Amino acid sequence: MPSDPGQHPAYVGGWIKALHDEPLETFRAAADAEKIQKYIYSLQQQQAIPEGISLADALQEYERRVDGQEARKQLERENPALVAARDAAVVQQKRERIQLELVSRAAAHGRRA
């Protein structure tokens, strides 16, 4: 997409006005960007994992092929969808662990009250 430096002040001005009118707009834009990112990752994950192969199998394949940064860079060039699927799975696992920890803490806090 071409860039027109002459439009930069208008673009920034638009954001300044939006933030002045609605201070939470940055958070809404960030939330929208995260939704877009999740959607794109899900598409890449679907492309990376052939029919009949589980996500666990795909993760094992990634781990088998990647033993360092150089191997990861090479795999990113050869099969970026597999790397994206693995990264999305790792993020999901971390979120699930954090959610479980928060639930556990809330339950423990409720018992103390």
Contact 87, 72 (CB under 8 A): no
pLDDT tens string, the chain, 113 residues long: the values are 577 888 889 989 998 898 889 888 888 888 888 888 888 877 766 665 566 667 677 778 778 888 888 888 888 888 777 777 777 777 778 888 888 888 888 887 766 55
**DSSP of 49-85:** S-TT--HHHHHHHHHHH-SSHHHHHHHHHH-HHHHHH
